[in-house]
Structure 1
Amino acid sequence: MHIKLGQISRCILGGISILLGSCSVSNRLTEHPQIYIQKEGRAEKKWKLIWKDDFNESTLDTNRWSRIPAGTADWNRHMSTDDRCFELKDGQLHLLGINNPDTLRDKRPFITGGIWSKGKFAFQYGRIEIRAKLGSAQGAWPAMWMLAELDKYGKYPKNGEIDIMEHLNFDKIIYQTTHSYYTLDLGEKTKPPHSGTAVIDAGAYNVYGISWYPDRIVFQLNGKDTFTYPRLQGVDSSQWPYDQPFFILIDQQLGGSWVGKVDRSQLPVVMEVDWVKVYQ
């Protein structure tokens, strides 16, 4: 969609207006208007805000987000759309992991809350920042990450995964990682290194993010670069599936083979999300 300067002052995303500092730096796909593709030649220019949510409303903005449903993988096995896993107060979204209050209808011992922008907002290249405070508990696994919107290369993991931040238990570090067919199926995790860590105070507010370019993904913490995953030449093409739009996931996960067993006596645990901002 082409918007002339001065024609309007706001862009429409799913029927809701958001800041347009923005639409002049992005291409919108006619068949997928929720997708923002950074225009060529902008990679090294000043970022402009194209999309944000500061969670100041009394309900979740369903033009931007959906609650993540349950699945069969470790990360979404305990996801729930139950209202008790979500709170909006004081300009923040709280995503909770709680002991299941109704095991007659749902036999899972605990349930968790998460949101994603799948089908509502995705972008290709740019910068995302998420300000949040993490809760800690044995078995807690809060995550902020991205998956492909259009499945350009096939089913997972061929389209890749970008993990902006994952935190385990009471760790004093976060993990920042890329996953793909190249790293998982071909096992190429050192050429180039696909994961890094950064030291945090999980109980304080931090800004987690990435700056995503056509040739590299730069992971960041509080505005400082922590780890870079580059696009390589002369290797299997599956090394770089990051040339397509990705959507956002933010979820308070519990349990699984990586994080370990959940101590239910330490629940509830909560991730407090202050805002999400995307620039191109």
Structure 2
Amino acid sequence: MSGNTSQPSDPGSSSVIPTNLTLDITLKGQQENPHGDGSGIVYITASADNASYYNFRFENGDSFNSQDGNLTYTFTETGLNQYLVTVLAYSPTNDYDSTSKPILIRVSPPSVDGRDLVWSDEFNYDGILDSSKWHHQVIPIFGENWANGEQQHYTDRLDNSYVSDGTLKIVAKKEQYIFRGITKNYTSARLNSKYAFKYGRVDIRAKLPSEQGTWPAFWTLGANINEIGNYFGSTYGNVGWPLCGEIDIMEQNGWNKNNLIGHIHWGDTNTGDYGNNGNNIQIQNGSSEFNLYSLIWTESSIKILFNNQPFFEVDIVAGMPYNNLHYILLNIAMGGNLGGEIPTNFNSSTMELDYVRIYQ
């Protein structure tokens, strides 16, 4: 909302009211990105005839005076947010005119480990997932089924993935669902990031599902996999799994929700032989509290962390396919090798994500 209001300090006196008030706001870095460069810095300029000073006001209660109508201000709340900036132009008789202007600005989180944020979703919106960032992978990779004996169909419905109250919800449900003529008794969501990256740090803050039979995962695949129905297709190659390389940042089995798994799978680029390595730790609050699940990936090593504490690290040696672009996957599978038996009284289960961030 924007507009002008004029107010004489004393209608009975000789008042001078500022006129032709303008308000211009420039976001730092907006030439490269319409929402700014992530610093939160804005340059504000107000101008009016008969004005002796200006008062800038912000919705959080901040208020600043300026003699020349110029102000540099920094917004600090992370994510993409809209604010209303108001200026009052005062005349020598202390009469004023005012106007307001909305802005939409993105503020990046602070750098981590000397790395800058290059991609994220803070989930500070409601409803459908941001389609510029996420792809729903719904076509079973083995024709009628997904890998590992999983029992679900993945869908792109709001029933199975949506954003509300600042978090992403991925929901696995017990229900009959038909896709391409195949009926399954469970549904869930499997998301691909539309951003591919090589090296850096991934941070995912989340609450995990608590129900038995669920197999939640935050993981990456080499973008050269060309897996059926994934986002990148053959854009970066067509090597398949496991030659693409896989990094499991977080997995849990379906029967022990205190067990956290970090793992990698790969195919040797020289011999084609399958290899894997990993570790697990015991945690107590995976489903009751938000925790931080992280990957630090460099040219020489892969490190997986829980709440900033490393619990698996491996050196990257010749033949391991970890010098190529990867993308992020988020999903809850039902049953299968790691989900195990699904209880007959299972109804639904939710995994909640506060943010997904990539730093380089």
User: Which TM-score applies when normalising by structure 1?
Assistant: 0.76
Alignment of 1:260-275 (within 5 A): 260-275=340-355
By how many angstroms is 1:54 displaced?
A: 1.0
Q: Which residue of 2 aligns with 1:88?
A: 163
Residues 215 and 338 of structure 2 are in contact (CA less than 8 Å); yes or no, is this contact kept in structure 1?
no
Q: Flag the 1:269–1:206 CA change in 2: closer, same or farther, 3 A.
A: same
Instruction: Give SS of 1:123's match.
Output: coil
Q: Which residue of 2 aligns with 1:116?
A: 192
- Percent identity (aligned): 26
C-alpha offsets along residues 190-221 of structure 1, whole Å, 9 cap, x if unaligned? Answer: xxxx1011222222211101111000011111
The separation in 1 between residues aligned to 2:160 and 2:208, in whole angstroms, is: 15
Q: Which residue of 1 aligns with 2:215?
A: 141
Residues 224 and 240 of structure 2 are in contact (CA less than 8 Å); yes or no, is this contact kept in structure 1?
no
Runs (5+) with no aligned partner, structure 2: 1-26, 40-111, 226-236
| Aligned pair partner of 1:186 in 273, 279, 282 | 273
The separation in 2 between residues aligned to 1:86 and 1:52, in whole angstroms, is: 17
The separation in 1 between residues aligned to 2:113 and 2:343, in whole angstroms, is: 47
1:196 counterpart = 2:279: yes
Q: Which residue of 2 aligns with 1:65?
A: 134
Q: Which residue of 2 aligns with 1:50?
A: 118
The separation in 2 between residues aligned to 1:247 and 1:188, in whole angstroms, is: 20
Instruction: Give SS of 1:51's match.
Output: strand
1:226 counterpart = 2:226: no
Q: Flag the 1:243–1:69 CA change in 2: closer, same or farther, 3 A.
A: same
By how many angstroms is 1:140 displaced?
A: 0.3
Runs (5+) with no aligned partner, structure 1: 1-5, 22-43
The separation in 1 between residues aligned to 2:333 and 2:210, in whole angstroms, is: 11
By how many angstroms is 1:259 displaced?
A: 2.2
Q: Flag the 1:256–1:99 CA change in 2: closer, same or farther, 3 A.
A: same
Residues 255 and 261 of structure 1 are in contact (CA less than 8 Å); yes or no, is this contact kept in structure 2?
yes
Residues 169 and 353 of structure 2 are in contact (CA less than 8 Å); yes or no, is this contact kept in structure 1?
yes
Instruction: Give SS of 1:50's match.
Output: strand
C-alpha offsets along residues 163-201 of structure 1, whole Å, 9 cap, x if unaligned? Answer: 000011242111100001149963544xxxx10112222
With a CA cutoff of 8 Å and minimum separation of 6, indicate the structure with the bigger relative contact order. 1
Structure with the higher strand share, 1 or 2: 2
By how many angstroms is 1:9 displaced?
A: 4.4
The separation in 1 between residues aligned to 2:163 and 2:154, in whole angstroms, is: 18
Q: Flag the 1:213–1:10 CA change in 2: closer, same or farther, 3 A.
A: farther
Residues 20 and 50 of structure 1 are in contact (CA less than 8 Å); yes or no, is this contact kept in structure 2?
no
Q: Flag the 1:114–1:187 CA change in 2: closer, same or farther, 3 A.
A: closer
Q: Which residue of 2 aligns with 1:74?
A: 147
The separation in 2 between residues aligned to 1:123 and 1:167, in whole angstroms, is: 25
C-alpha offsets along residues 198-256 of structure 1, whole Å, 9 cap, x if unaligned? Answer: 22222221110111100001111111211101113xxxx43x20101111111111111
Say how many residue pairs are matched: 239
Select the structure of larger CA radius of gyration: 2
The separation in 1 between residues aligned to 2:31 and 2:339, in whole angstroms, is: 43
Give the aligned residue type for 1:57. Y
Residues 127 and 209 of structure 1 are in contact (CA less than 8 Å); yes or no, is this contact kept in structure 2?
yes
1:253 counterpart = 2:333: yes
Give the aligned residue type for 2:195. F
